[in-house]
Structure formats: structure tokens, C-alpha cells
Structure 1
Amino acid sequence: MHRSPPAHRTLLTRLDDRFGTWRGLVRLCLAWSELAAGRLRPFDQPALARVERLVWVCAGNVCRSPYAHQLARELRVPSASFGLSTVTGQAACADAITAAARVGADLTAHRATAWEDFSPRETDLYVVMEIRQARELRRRLGDCPAPITLLGLWGRPRRPHIHDPMTLSPAYFDTCLRVIERSVSGLVQSWRQAGHNGIQGPQRRVRANQRSEKKGSGSPTSNTKYRVRGST
């Protein structure tokens, strides 16, 4: 005889599918409260006209930032990515590769870059997934004046915390990638509206919102390097 799952189990499953875990929901709620209080203003609405490269950042550079980086490549946007706590050369995690493949993206060639092996530029915009990453990166950047933003602030609806999907359910991986797609699309659109149209190429369908967007390359990137904390 088939038995229906307990109501509390169904609720927990839905929570996990949407937010990763209950911790993901709590951190999102805390992020919303910081946004409402104005404490995220330093990471909201940077001056995009000065930005020549989008740099996608997460913890390991094996799940979230590789997918954002891949979407940006498809949109012909000057990009890079790295992890705040990772080892250079590490492949994207198997679950991320599988989840990305479900939406037609290929992460098999991705290799992580550690913070210590990354060279910052003044005209970069660092795009992070979590508030704690934004604050840690601001500390590490030291003298480099490049702005930092939260990726989830560029999607609709806004989501100031994009929880790490590592080791979590396939359903949450799908949720996480959808949030990243919407947010990358919104950021790239705003970046182009700020004057970075580049050379227009053929149109393609963007998975994030099922609409066409023109390809274009950004302005030449600067080679200026700045002293950063914690680098070798």
C-alpha cells in the first residue's frame, strides 16, 4: 500500500529544493535584513561604465562561479573567475558538471584558479555569491579600488545570498543555476547599457530568460596590477 510522505518531510524537501538547506534559508533571510537596513550599499549598483572585466568569485571555484563564467563566455563578455579557498587546477565538481549539462552548458574543461594565483585589475568588477565573501574579498584586495557586487542583486527577484550547492540535492543545483542565469543576464544587460556594447555578433537564445541577446566583446582590459593582501 502506498503511503504519502509526512507533511513535515514534504516541507523540508521543498525547503531543500529552493534554498539548499535550512541554513541556506536562514542566511538568505539575514542577507535580506542587511539589504533592507542599507548595509549592502557598498556592494549594490557599482559604476559599471568603468568596468572592463567581470570576475566571478565563490569559495571553491568549482560550482557557482564556473557556471557564471561559462554563461559570460557565451555572451562574449570579458571574464575571469577564482575561488577564495581552493587549489588551482581543480576541476568543476561532478554534480555541477551534471547539473550544467542538464541546461546545455559544458563545465568539463573548467579548472579552478586560487586567489593567490589571480592578478586583480583596477577595472575589474568582482561578482560574489555571499555577503561574507564580499567582505573577505574587500579585505584581501587591500589597495585595489575595484568594486565588488553580489551576483544575486542583479536577478529578478533579487536574491542577496546564493547558497553553495556543493553536496546538495540535484533539485537545489537546478535552483541555484537558475538564480545564477537570471542574475548573470541582468548584470550583463546593465553592463552593456552602461556603454559596453562592443562588436555586435549574431543573436543567440540566453537560457536564463529564454530571450535573445546580442553578443559583444568588452573594452580592452587594463594590465594595471595592485598590491593585494594574502597573495604570494
Structure 2
Amino acid sequence: MVEADFGTASGFARAVFAEAEYLLGSLNRHVKPVHPDVQRLIFVCLGNVNRSAFATAVARLRTSATRSIGLGAAAGARPPRSAIRCAASLGVDLSSHLATHIDDYDFQPGDLLLAMEIRHARFLVERGIPPSAICLLGHWSVPRRIHLHDPHMLSETYLGACFTRIDVAVNKLLDELLAAGSPCMKSPSGGCHEALVSS
């Protein structure tokens, strides 16, 4: 059960510690309601071939104002076949995705960076990104999962669970932005996601 739901024992431990930090209030600046003036969504993970790649592909079904980056990405890397298959089963196409390293990203006012892990958020702060522009995507998952553990090289069962959580979280976030009249939701997309999550 641990491997299917959390990926690894380490993933379980990190999820527990992340939830504890959330309950203690130490993550408040990264789980606040989103600002209505968000212009662009930037999804962040480590390699930019699984979590953030999938998140931005989900978001792109509803808005074009999105991109993704990896803190340790190999620029131009493609998602593994397992990620492409899993995404396709959820109605999302990852086949043309190419990884982008954070060094090829320039922060712009109005960017909202959505990190998959607490350490990603803290790394972004150390890079000079304003803390007010960084949120933890798992805050919008249902149920909440502050730590979205890296599925790379793990079981396809966990990969599916991880992508499903991200799908729910992204759509719940987009619903919130839409309700707030955010400019990022006024950018047209090429399609419509069938499984929207109500706020």
C-alpha cells in the first residue's frame, strides 16, 4: 500500500513530515489563496519529465498561459514511455514534451510557481523568486497531499496515483483562478478538459 500510494517508504515519510509542517503553519506562505492577478502558471519539479510536465499539459487544456521547468532537468529530455502512456490514459498528451532547466527560465511579475515538494519551494526562494509567487501544488489535491513524491523509475501503479492527484490539483487550482477572474484564464487553449473539479 505504501508503494502504491506514496511511491516509496521515503515518499511516505516525506508526506507525513510535509503534512506536519502544514498543520504547524510553517508553510502558510506557500498554501495561501491564489492572487487574482496571476498572469502565468509555472509548474516545477526536479527533472521536468514527469510531474511538472504532466501538470502543465493538464493546464494547457484550459489555458495557454503555462509552462514547466525542472530544477535539475536535462534540457531537451523527453518523458519516459511510462509517463506518456499514463498521461494518455488520463486524456493528456506528453509525447511532444521537452524538458526545460530552471536556468532557461526568467521570472516575470505575475508568474505563479507551483512546486511539487517543500524543498523545491525553498530552492526557488533561494534562487531569488519572491515567496509570495510560490505555492505547493499538492495543497489543491483532494485529499490534500503537500508532498507529491517523484514517480520517476517507480511503479506504474504509483505513477498513475501521482498523475491523478496532479490532475485533480491542477483543475481545482484553475477553477479557483477562473472564479477569481485571473488573467491567466483568459488565454485561449486548444481543448477542454472533461473532468473538471468543482471548487
TM-score by structure 2 length? 0.91
The C-alpha deviation readout for 1:4-29, integer Å capped at 9, x for no partner, is: xxxxxxxxxx2111110111111000
Deviating runs (4+, > 6 A) in structure 1? 199-203
| Residues 1:141 and 2:128 aligned together | yes
Paired residues for 1:10-25 under 5 Å: 14-25=1-12
| Residues 1:178 and 2:178 aligned together | no
Residue 152 of structure 2: aligned partner: 166
**1:93 to partner: Cα distance:** 2.0
* Structure 1 portions without partners, runs of 5+: 1-13, 212-232
Asked if 1 retains the 8 angstrom alpha-carbon contact of 2:142 and 2:169, the reply is yes
Residue 40 of structure 2: aligned partner: 53
Residue 187 of structure 1: aligned partner: 173
**1:145 to partner: Cα distance:** 6.5
Residue 24 of structure 2: aligned partner: 37
**Residues of 1 paired with 2:45 and 2:63: CA distance?**
21
The structure with more radius of gyration: 1
Paired residues for 1:69-218 under 5 Å: 69-141=56-128, 144=130, 147-196=133-182, 198=186, 204-207=192-195, 209=197
Q: CA RMSD in A?
A: 2.1
The C-alpha deviation readout for 1:50-102, integer Å capped at 9, x for no partner, is: 21100000000000001001011101241011000012111112221121122
**Residues of 2 paired with 1:131 and 1:201: CA distance?**
30
User: % of aligned pairs identical?
Assistant: 36
Residue 62 of structure 1: aligned partner: 49
* Structure 2 portions without partners, runs of 5+: none
State the secondary structure of the residue aligned to 2:112: strand
Asked if 1 retains the 8 angstrom alpha-carbon contact of 2:46 and 2:71, the reply is yes
**Residues of 1 paired with 2:99 and 2:187: CA distance?**
29
Report the AA paired with residue 194 of structure 2. V
Asked if 1 retains the 8 angstrom alpha-carbon contact of 2:115 and 2:121, the reply is yes
Relative contact order higher in (CA < 8 Å, ≥ 6 apart): 2
**1:192 to partner: Cα distance:** 1.0
Residue 8 of structure 1: aligned partner: none
Asked if 2 retains the 8 angstrom alpha-carbon contact of 1:46 and 1:147, the reply is no
**1:207 to partner: Cα distance:** 3.5
